[in-house]
Amino acid sequence: MIELLNLAFMRRALVAAALAGLTAPAIGTYIVQRRLSLLGDGLGHVAIAGVGLALATGSAPLPWAVGACVGGAALIELLRQRGRASGDIGLAILFYGGLAAGVLLASLAGQGAGGLQSYLFGSLVTVSPGDLKLVVALAAVVLVVALGWSAPLFAVCADEDYAKTLGLPVKLYNFVIVVLAAVTVATAMRTVGLLLVSALMVVPVAAAQNLCRGFFASLAGAMGLGLVVSLGGVVTSYYADLAPGATIVLLAIAVFVLSWPVSAWTHRRRHRRLDDPDPRPIPHHWAAESHQDHVHGPGCGHPAVEHGDHLDYLHFGHRHVPHGDHHDEH
Amino acid sequence: MLLSGRTADPAAGETDGDSTPDLVEIQDLGVSLDGLPVLRQVWLTVPAGQAVALLGNNGSGKTTLVRALLGLTPHQAGAIRLFGAPAVRSGMSRRDGFHSWWRIGYVPQQVAISLHATTLAEVVRTGALAHRHDAVWGVTSWLHRRHARQVVAQALDQVGLTAQAKELFIHLSGGQQRRALIARALAQQPDLLVLDEPLAGVDLAHQGLIRDVLAGFRERGGAILVVLHETEALAPLIDRAVVLRDGRVVHDGPLPTDPETHWGHELEAPPRAAGLMTGLGPHWER
């Protein structure tokens, strides 16, 4: 373990992985809440275009990936806010256009699709000191915004219409969420890889939702799980000589699978408790509203429904039955 | 300037020298959805402290009117004034426009599906967000957390759901979910509650609970605009009824004593009854 920390590239890889493990589930909790679980995957495709551009121009890939990804995210959100039916097709074109453009540019640079591999699936040795500075700065921004604005961001993700009626700047918050997701995807490129980062945004969140109750508990739980699987994945991949991105994602899925029985158990326990009757039980004999000279009976004009040994009369969606000088609700 | 010399409500008369503006003032409103006119020449006022019922058949435009009033659906004609200030349409910002949206507590007809994995307290706490004056630069707003906690506890207490605060929303019954949405609106500490069919699918005992909650809100001076399909459960509360038919106001006055005679054949009792009964539990089997 100590020897691992003596290696400069491993120290950088560990820091980058830890930050990816914190930021991806943090922003992923909002993404999952908004039911956009596959957004991260699409953004990863768009970032590939940025990497291809960097390879073709011979510059550092990370800033280009961040730029392409944020641009793509802004475009996606615009499509979503403006268009309706065309949004779906627009997304698909954007995503696959990004992937194709990335591969094309990489091959123009003489690297072919193989040159992209370390960006697609992550690689321990590729985190340069310059990359790390950018990753730390961007991750700090993502964490400050995602946690500092957690209350209004949650409100927008949970119930957009209601958030609008509160007067919250809903469009702005929606933009913030997708842009943060884009930044997260691009910064996780070196460790988890662009094709696998989406899993780190979704799987720890799903596991945390099994283990914790409520949005904010899941947010904290997902970040904790993300940190553990990222660091564990990097260390494992170093010793076992495995691809780090794949190791991290499979570890996350293992945690998710283990969280299933826990969730089933707590759900059963809670359900038993909730089966208790409501504090205000319905009385057996519940008087209906007065009818002003109208007595329900055959030919009263209200539809009759058989109910055990008698007939109920449908009155405004209620089943009424004459009883002495009044009517009962049935 | 905005509050200049208009009486609150001709019926209520002038109570004092300082006349308060109507909380809601809709003039000649026209709304089309996908090119189809849904509301035409609608006039509606909700004075302070009044409870107004909005009635009408399915498709008469009740929900659209509520959504237009809240700025969720754009209107093509007419004007909406809230608390004496012109409602600002989405995308526009006017300094003299209405900005105090927290004063209007909205209780939608349907529970947003993405609420399911959240706890009741979390949902209600979003209502308390209305008190953050700096909703965008929200870092300082952590100072408001204690206040928010009190407001949330109070709102949950009012709807009788304090014991369920930590439960997941999806584990609550339909009636409890509806009360939770009311609690969320109450956590705004609003002056006006706008409710879209708060009793739909709620059994009688829980209708009584909701009625008590709304009556308490009115006693504290709040105004209510409530979309209703059937008025019986809330009748004692209602000061005025506005009936919509085909997107137009056909009645504005006291609650019709027997809505069936008022609406005639247009009221579809049997399908409504069938829908209600499927939502009812074993309490109904005797």
Concatenating the DSSP letter of every residue in A65-110 gives HHHHHHHHHHHHHHHHHH-STHHHHHHHHHHHHHHHHHHHHHHHTT
Number of H helices, E strands in chain A: 13, 4
- Per-residue DSSP letter, A182: H
Please give the residue that has the higher pLDDT: either A100 or A110: A100
Nearest-angstrom CA–CA distance, B205 and B175: 10
pLDDT tens-digit profile of A66-78? 999 999 999 888 8
A189: which 2 tokens? 């490129």
A19: which 2 tokens? 């930050």
What pLDDT sits at residue A75? Answer: 87
* A239 CB neighbour count, 10 Å cutoff: 9
Nearest-angstrom CA–CA distance, B44 and B80: 9
User: Which H or E run includes A55?
Assistant: helix A39-57
What pLDDT sits at residue B8? Answer: 38
What pLDDT sits at residue A310? Answer: 59
- The verdict on A284 touching B (C-beta cutoff 8 Å) is yes
- Per-residue DSSP letter, B3: T
pLDDT level of residue A134 (50, 70, 90 thresholds): very high
CA closest to B117 among chain A residues: A214
CA closest to A144 among chain B residues: B139
A-chain residues near B273 (CB < 8 A) = 303, 314, 316-319
- Burial of residue A272, with CB atoms counted within 10 A of its CB: 0-12 exposed, 13-18 middle, 19 or more buried: exposed
Contacts of residues B60-65 at CB distance under 8 Å and 24 or more positions apart, as own/partner, are B60/B244, B60/B245, B60/B246, B60/B247, B61/B31, B61/B244, B61/B246, B61/B247, B62/B196, B62/B227, B62/B244, B63/B109, B63/B196, B63/B227, B64/B31, B64/B33, B64/B38, B64/B39, B64/B247, B65/B26, B65/B29, B65/B31, B65/B39, B65/B244
Which domains does chain B show, CATH number per domain? 46-63+100-284 (3.40.50.300)
Residues 35-94 of A with CB under 8 A from B: 35
A-chain residues near B188 (CB < 8 A) = 166
- Burial of residue B60, with CB atoms counted within 10 A of its CB: 0-12 exposed, 13-18 middle, 19 or more buried: buried
Quote the minimal CA–CA distance from B17 to chain A in Å.
32
What pLDDT sits at residue B15? Answer: 40
End-to-end CA distance of chain A: 72
pLDDT tens-digit profile of B245-261? 988 998 888 887 655 54
Nearest-angstrom CA–CA distance, A113 and A97: 15
C-alpha dist (Å) from residue B63 to A72, A271, A305? 36, 35, 31
Rounded to an integer, the average pLDDT of A158-187 is 91
What pLDDT sits at residue A296? Answer: 62
Residue A247 pLDDT > 90? yes
Nearest-angstrom CA–CA distance, B33 and B53: 23
* A325 CB neighbour count, 10 Å cutoff: 7
Cα-Cα-Cα-Cα torsion B122, B126, B131, B137, nearest 10 degrees, comes to: 100
B149: helix, coil or strand?
A: helix
For an interface test with B, the pick among A149, A215, A294 (most B C-beta atoms closer than 10 Å) comes out as A215
| Range of weakest confidence among A69-73, A86-90, A188-192 | A86-90
pLDDT level of residue A145 (50, 70, 90 thresholds): very high
- The verdict on A2 touching B (C-beta cutoff 8 Å) is no
C-alpha dist (Å) from residue A98 to A82, A89, A104, A186? 21, 14, 10, 13
Instruction: Answer yes or no: do B119 and A302 touch at CB < 8 A.
Output: no
Nearest-angstrom CA–CA distance, B131 and B104: 12
Nearest-by-Cβ selection for B168 from A158, A213, A315:
A213
What pLDDT sits at residue B286? Answer: 29
Instruction: Answer yes or no: do B132 and A152 touch at CB < 8 A.
Output: yes
Instruction: Answer yes or no: do A168 and B135 touch at CB < 8 A.
Output: yes
Please give the residue that has the higher pLDDT: either A139 or A263: A139
Quote the minimal CA–CA distance from B20 to chain A in Å.
23
Residue A194 pLDDT > 50? yes
pLDDT tens-digit profile of A148-165? 888 889 999 999 899 988
* Global ipTM: 0.80
Nearest-angstrom CA–CA distance, A38 and A198: 7
Instruction: Answer yes or no: do A216 and B122 touch at CB < 8 A.
Output: yes
Instruction: Answer yes or no: do A282 and B126 touch at CB < 8 A.
Output: no
What pLDDT sits at residue B266? Answer: 43
For an interface test with A, the pick among B126, B188, B210 (most A C-beta atoms closer than 10 Å) comes out as B126
- The verdict on A167 touching B (C-beta cutoff 8 Å) is yes
A-chain residues near B272 (CB < 8 A) = 316-317
pLDDT along chain B (286 residues), means of 10: 37 46 89 88 92 89 92 88 78 65 89 80 88 52 73 91 90 87 93 92 83 92 91 87 90 74 42 37 33
CATH classification of A2-200, choosing from 2.50.20.10, 1.10.3470.10, 1.10.645.10, 1.10.10.1590? 1.10.3470.10
* B277 CB neighbour count, 10 Å cutoff: 15
Nearest-angstrom CA–CA distance, B241 and B230: 12
CA closest to A283 among chain B residues: B205
B276: which 2 tokens? 């209600």
- All CATH 1.10.3470.10 domain ranges of chain A, comma separated, are 2-200
CB-CB contact of A216 with A154 (8 Å): yes
Residue A302 pLDDT > 70? no
What pLDDT sits at residue B71? Answer: 87
CA closest to A157 among chain B residues: B114
Q: Which amino acid is at A64?
A: W
pLDDT level of residue A309 (50, 70, 90 thresholds): low
pTM over 0.80: no
Residue A141 pLDDT > 70? yes
Average per-residue pLDDT for chain A: 83
A40: which 2 tokens? 């991260």
Residues 6 or more apart whose Cβ sits within 8 Å of residue A49:
A68, A72, A97, A98, A99, A101, A102, A105
What pLDDT sits at residue A248? Answer: 94
Instruction: Answer yes or no: do B284 and A165 touch at CB < 8 A.
Output: no
B-chain residues near A151 (CB < 8 A) = 125-126, 129, 132, 138, 141
Nearest-angstrom CA–CA distance, B214 and B234: 9
Nearest-angstrom CA–CA distance, A247 and A252: 9
Quote the minimal CA–CA distance from A227 to chain B in Å.
23
C-alpha dist (Å) from residue B121 to A205, A246, B138, B255? 20, 38, 20, 36
